[in-house]
Structure 1
Amino acid sequence: MNPEIRPATVEDAEAGAWCHLLCWREAYAGLVPAEALLERTSNIERRTERWQTQLTAGRQRWIALNPDPAAALEDRVAGFIATGPGHDDDAPVPFELEAIYTRQAFWSTGLGGRLLDVAVGKQAAFLWVFEDNERARAFYQRHGFEPDGVRKHDPYFDLYEIRLVRH
């Protein structure tokens, strides 16, 4: 059974926040030291508030619902994508893919590609990805994103990011 993809609502904020934090734990294991990763992914209240604020402000997020009707709140959202106008002063294109994550149980199922198709389609876009996140970089490359030579430090996870662009 494929997860249903639909726009997120404010009522989805806590389930979306759980997905966000758990996806960080799964995707960044091995990139971020375990103790730091746990510390940065443990405040569900702050992440829920952030989701609520962004959804209330009209920020676009799509969620993929776990097809298991018995899934606990923490597992209700299997993945999500956030998009919007580019935040960079030197944005190479106007549209930014701000975040896309799927839970590890849904890796290699095509869910990430489905989320990308729904929220971005074939339009030009840019995004930031951790330089050493080979799995994510391979996903983006399959979908036409290439590095544009811009790099910056992410202080939250203490890693370097590179910008990828699809024209």
Structure 2
Amino acid sequence: MHPLIRPATAADAGELSRVSLTMWDEAYGEMIDEEALRRRHDEPADSRAARWAERIASEEVFIAVDNGAVVGFARVAIAPKTELLSLYTRQSHWRSGLGTRLLTESLRGATAELWVFEGNARAQRFYEHHGFRLDGQRREDPPYGFEVHMIRSRTFDRTY
């Protein structure tokens, strides 16, 4: 059975604050400085949960749930433009189609933009497959490194 994708609610904030740390560790463990990743875990749990509650209230946040556990999420800002703020799945669900399902559900084919870590070739290929392209913009995201900007300038209606 596929994981269920649904809008996040305020009740999901605590779980998202925990599992997002794990997803970051899985995604960036060999890409980002180990100390920088470890410092993310130093933030108090209630502070992380409060930030997630704010995100759920002000953004479109979708979660993927499998056997009662959150195994993926996507965050989208709609105004003033559609921006994919983050999309992660647990490593156990990589290449399962879950990332595509989260992207499809959260963006619904819209013209959109996103920032991705410069050294994250796997994610860049994923987004290119879904109609995004690099546009030449680059910014620093201390202490994690540099990000590159990708856009999808037309409606993308690939169905899966």
Same fold (TM over 0.5): yes
Distance in structure 2 (CA, Å) of the matches to 1:166 and 1:41: 33
Q: Once structures 1 and 2 are overlaid, which stretch shifts more, 103-112 or 16-25?
A: 16-25
TM-score normalised by structure 2 residue count: 0.89
Q: How far apart are 1:42 and its partner, in Å?
A: 4.2
Q: How far apart are 1:53 and its partner, in Å?
A: 1.8
Structure 1 residue 77 corresponds to structure 2 residue 63: no
Distance in structure 2 (CA, Å) of the matches to 1:41 and 1:134: 25
Q: Which residue of the other structure, out of 88, 96, 105, is the alignment partner of 2:83?
A: 96
Q: Which residue of the other structure, out of 86, 93, 114, is the alignment partner of 1:127?
A: 114
TM-score normalised by structure 1 residue count: 0.85
Distance in structure 2 (CA, Å) of the matches to 1:81 and 1:96: 11
Distance in structure 2 (CA, Å) of the matches to 1:138 and 1:65: 25
Distance in structure 2 (CA, Å) of the matches to 1:122 and 1:142: 13
List, as ranges, runs of 4+ consecutive aligned residues in structure 1 with deviation greater than 2 Å. 41-46
**Equivalent in the alignment of 2:48:** 47
Q: Deviations over 1:114-138 (max 9, x none)?
A: 0011110221100000000111111
Q: How far apart are 1:99 and its partner, in Å?
A: 0.6
Structure 1 residue 112 corresponds to structure 2 residue 99: yes
Task: Give the fraction of aligned pairs with identical amino acids, expressed as a percent.
Answer: 40
Q: Tell me the secondary structure at the aligned position of residue 116 of structure 1.
A: helix
Q: Alignment RMSD, CA only? A: 1.5
Q: Deviations over 1:6-41 (max 9, x none)?
A: 000000001111221111111111111222212224
Distance in structure 2 (CA, Å) of the matches to 1:3 and 1:35: 32
**Equivalent in the alignment of 2:152:** 166
Cα pair 2:59 2:78 within 8 Å, conserved: no
In structure 2, what residue type is equivalent to 1:51?
A: W
Q: How far apart are 1:108 and its partner, in Å?
A: 0.5
Cα pair 1:5 1:115 within 8 Å, conserved: yes
Give structure 1 stretches of 5+ with no counterpart.
70-75, 88-93
In structure 2, what residue type is equivalent to 1:53?
A: E
Q: Tell me the secondary structure at the aligned position of residue 148 of structure 2.
A: strand
Aligned residues: 152
**Equivalent in the alignment of 2:58:** 58
